[in-house]
Structure 1
Amino acid sequence: MMLKNSFISMVKVPGVMLEILVLRREGAEQSCGRILSSPSTAHSLKSAAILRHSHARNKGSKDKVKSPPITLLPSASSNTTAPSQTRIVSDIKENYVSEDNDDKDGDLFTDVYHSPKLFKLNFEEMEEIFKIYIYPDGDPKTFYQTPRKLTGKYASEGYFFQNIRESRFLTDDPDQAHLFFIPISCHKMRGKGTSYENMTIIVQNYVDGLIAKYPYWNRTLGADHFFVTCHDVGVRATEGVPFLVKNAIRVVCSPSYDVGFIPHKDVALPQILQPFALHAGGNDHVCRTALGFWAGHRNSKIRVILARVWGNDTELDISNNRISRATGHLVYQKRFYRTKFCICPGGSQVNSARIADSIHYGCVPVILSNYYDLPFNDILDWRKFAVVLRENDVYQLKQILKNISHEDFVSLHNNLIKVVQKHFQWNTPPVRFDAFNMVVYELWLRHHVIKY
């Protein structure tokens, strides 16, 4: 249903035809675009500013949020990402992203970060002095194996392997290194059909060989070593080597504690399925008319409850079966565009790209899980661009989302698109403040607590 005083117009962009729904709201006009051509034209949309910015603005109108966003605060006894009780409150200070920020780093000085100025200073220091040494030993077909195409659910691991070799942080001198990278990648072993038991033996023999040949592990018993894995195969293979898991830093797409994730030691690697099928969501909050969206497999208790309670609701778009990303004229991705809040329930697997999808398409993530160590949780205040709930809140989910005012939603959305999106994007070569640099910054933070 269209808002009052809205109208439809057709706009031509090279290689694509758009249907523009212009919405008049609160003295300003904003456009919503819908793709009418094939998915191959998605790249052309990146240059179509009409999808990202206001179609027209009345004189004197300003697109700022004047009220602070709703935050969900945990009780003192709960963990940082899953409040033991949901308390919807307003923060005292303003949380919107100012468009008048003249700082050279743009939106860094916002409270989306726990400590913006400290993050900026530490990040600059990291860029100047941080060095990582990669062990050269081992069969490259078994250990260091970057996929030919950085796509699919293992892409984050592949991007990190490639980015570290392209970055300023790499050193050939182990005496200059702050951390040591063990280039274990189970991607090749998985493709060969190697059993978990044999993978564990291969990994253990490789690490034992490094310890015997080089003196660096024994200096800290491996505390200044790290490895990266972003799939269940790698997690299971390395868990069979207890001294590696307990001592070294694990950079892993395993944010739940049931896989032995230790928040103060390990790093949550964001799982990002790139390339994205469509362009990033922009300043399009007026176009988001659906309250909530989730589509997926019921492979966990919370997902079963979510589908049972809200599967037939008229305001929450909840689907029992996952919509294919490759078919259906990009139906799955388009539903992110028109939705305010995208539900991200915990699943049975150690990885999920749903959070990164929500961030990319500008849909405010709703984290619905009791134990979830979110990516970059040491740096970002997730309550400023997401809604964090415990699993018991699933029964009140719709009311919780409806209680979030329009102004508070706009603030969450603005923080998401103006600050957070760049942190959940892989690039080659890496770009400042992108996913690779944020992961390296997490490693930089952990190296400070290592005692020699």
Structure 2
Amino acid sequence: MPCSIQHSLLTLILLILIAFTYTALNSLRSPSVLPPKVNTISIPDNDFSEIYHSPEVFRLNYEEMERKFRIFVYPDGDPNTYYQTPRKLTGKYASEGYFFQNIRESSFRTDDPDRAHLFFIPISCHKMRGKGTSYENMTIIVHNYVQSLIDKYPYWNRTLGADHFFVTCHDVGVRATEGYPLLVKNTIRVVCSPSYDVGFIPHKDVALPQVLQPFALPAGGNDIENRTTLGFWAGHRNSKIRVILARVWENDTELDIKNDRINRATGNLVYQKKFYKTKFCICPGGSQVNSARIADSIHYGCVPVILSNYYDLPFNDVLDWRKFSVIIKEHDVYQLKSILKDISDAEFISLHNNLVKVQKHFQWNSPPIRFDAFHMVMYELWLRHHVIKY
């Protein structure tokens, strides 16, 4: 009898141990008891499902950038010319001004050059233009300023300027800096004109989005039922492709193509309101391939049609532009209508929905916020700094 009781007790103890072990293992698999992840990105997974080339790579790299990336801004130079916010934060060159302001407001800036991954050369040719400075004098000013940094600090010489960058959205800034080949060849150029500008080197330089802020009307999106016009464009005929676009399609009944800017006398914000009513907004290059029209289209929820033979689109190595825009060559302008009509309703809905997801990447804020235009530019710089060794 004692042996039977002892055997029963042992069996009971064994069963209790098995049950306890099973419960413990089960709880370890439960997310509720896992240690919290540090610095995770609180963005729904579906926001990362379509619009990025490598969603998980972007997620992890962005998180690392936020923790580690540091920029040293050179403090020297005439305060009336350098590193004061350019003339204004409005207009088609506002991206340059916002970057100058945002870098001061962000956590990426460091006053310790030994901690810096990259060095920002704060040249504001936009402001020089406002003072009436000629291109020739701008080039001299830029050359002398950069040379003074080379002579005074040791950082340029470690990489011959490969870990230095400057920012300009203004065409005069591109022209002024082109006069100093050492600057163009060696540094990372963050510019708004990355194709007709022959000095632009993809994967070294960065395409800065040209954003016309403040936007006149709220963001569009999730409003497909209101978009009854097939395509829209209105603007100056200041390039060959724009002349052809207007000549071929200005009398079409399904494409709303104007051969000039819409006169404000026709009504308040008529131009902007057309973006709300249109499925596809045509974005042909003008005197430069870049255009604020692309950011306008994204903001108002109108799928941009990139009509260009070559355009290193902003954030092109991060964003998959074919998931939220239509990209066609200039010779396809004659088939523009059939190309757009061949896009099925399901394809358009997908393009439109993805467009809403990327809107945050083409918005400048002060102070900057996560995933906005400033942070996307910083991310592009973060990617480039990895290939610089010293």
Counterpart residue number, 2:282: 343
The TM-score normalised by the length of structure 1 is 0.76
Query: Contact 2:196 / 2:289 at 8 angstroms: preserved in 1?
Result: no
For structure 1, which segment, 324-333 or 267-276, has the greater mean C-alpha deviation from structure 2 after superposition? 324-333
> Which residue among 412, 420, 424 is the counterpart of 2:351?
412
CA distance in 2, matches of 1:148, 1:182: 18
Counterpart residue number, 2:186: 247
Identity %: 83
Counterpart residue number, 2:42: 104
CA distance in 1, matches of 2:376, 2:361: 7
Counterpart residue number, 2:114: 175
**Structure 1 residues 149, 243: CA separation in 2 closer, same or farther (over 3 Å shift)?**
closer
Q: Could you tell me which amino acid in structure 2 is paired with residue 162 of structure 1?
A: Q
CA distance in 2, matches of 1:183, 1:342: 35
CA distance in 2, matches of 1:214, 1:424: 35
**Structure 1 residues 366, 351: CA separation in 2 closer, same or farther (over 3 Å shift)?**
closer
> Which residue among 238, 241, 260 is the counterpart of 1:302?
241
Q: Could you tell me which amino acid in structure 1 is paired with residue 191 of structure 2?
A: V
Q: Deviations over 1:308-329 (max 9, x none)?
A: 1101111111001012579731
Q: 1:111 Cα deviation (Å)?
A: 2.4
Q: 1:188 Cα deviation (Å)?
A: 2.0
Q: 1:416 Cα deviation (Å)?
A: 0.5
| 1:449 correspondence with 2:387 | yes
Q: 1:210 Cα deviation (Å)?
A: 0.1
Q: Deviations over 1:397-430 (max 9, x none)?
A: 000000001111011000001x100000000110
SS at match of 1:372: coil
Query: Where in structure 2 are the equivalents of 1:298-337 lying within 5 Å?
Result: 298-324=237-263, 328-337=267-276
Q: Deviations over 1:64-116 (max 9, x none)?
A: xxxxxxxxxxxxxxxxxxxxxxxxxxxxxxxxxxxxxxx83124421210000
Counterpart residue number, 1:439: 377
Q: Could you tell me which amino acid in structure 2 is paired with residue 225 of structure 1?
A: H
After TM superposition, which residue ranges in structure 1, 4 or more long, deviate above 6 angstroms? none
CA distance in 2, matches of 1:124, 1:108: 16
Q: Could you tell me which amino acid in structure 2 is paired with residue 421 of structure 1?
A: Q
> Which residue among 119, 126, 144 is the counterpart of 1:187?
126
Q: Could you tell me which amino acid in structure 2 is paired with residue 212 of structure 1?
A: D
SS at match of 2:165: strand
The TM-score normalised by the length of structure 2 is 0.87
Q: Deviations over 1:368-416 (max 9, x none)?
A: 0001010000100000000000011101000000000111101100000
Counterpart residue number, 2:171: 232
CA distance in 1, matches of 2:206, 2:110: 22
SS at match of 2:233: strand
**Structure 1 residues 237, 203: CA separation in 2 closer, same or farther (over 3 Å shift)?**
same
Query: Contact 2:74 / 2:122 at 8 angstroms: preserved in 1?
Result: yes
SS at match of 2:257: strand
Q: Deviations over 1:145-168 (max 9, x none)?
A: 314641111211010000001101
CA distance in 1, matches of 2:263, 2:185: 38
Quick check: which one's strand share is greater?
1
CA distance in 2, matches of 1:326, 1:219: 57
Query: Contact 1:325 / 1:333 at 8 angstroms: preserved in 2?
Result: no
Query: Contact 1:271 / 1:352 at 8 angstroms: preserved in 2?
Result: yes
For structure 1, which segment, 428-437 or 109-118, has the greater mean C-alpha deviation from structure 2 after superposition? 109-118
Counterpart residue number, 1:292: 231
> Which residue among 79, 82, 90 is the counterpart of 1:151?
90
Query: Contact 1:230 / 1:351 at 8 angstroms: preserved in 2?
Result: no
Q: 1:207 Cα deviation (Å)?
A: 0.2
CA distance in 1, matches of 2:262, 2:80: 35
For structure 1, which segment, 186-195 or 319-328, has the greater mean C-alpha deviation from structure 2 after superposition? 319-328
Query: Contact 1:132 / 1:177 at 8 angstroms: preserved in 2?
Result: yes
Q: Could you tell me which amino acid in structure 2 is paired with residue 371 of structure 1?
A: Y
CA distance in 2, matches of 1:256, 1:340: 27
> Which residue among 113, 135, 144 is the counterpart of 1:196?
135
Counterpart residue number, 1:367: 306
Unaligned segments of structure 1, at least 5 residues: 1-102
**Structure 1 residues 108, 155: CA separation in 2 closer, same or farther (over 3 Å shift)?**
same
Counterpart residue number, 1:13: none
Q: Deviations over 1:158-182 (max 9, x none)?
A: 1000000110100000000000000
CA RMSD of aligned residues (A): 1.4
Query: Contact 2:325 / 2:351 at 8 angstroms: preserved in 1?
Result: yes
> Which residue among 423, 426, 431 is the counterpart of 2:361?
423
- What is the aligned residue count? 349
Q: Could you tell me which amino acid in structure 2 is paired with residue 288 of structure 1?
A: R
Counterpart residue number, 1:81: none
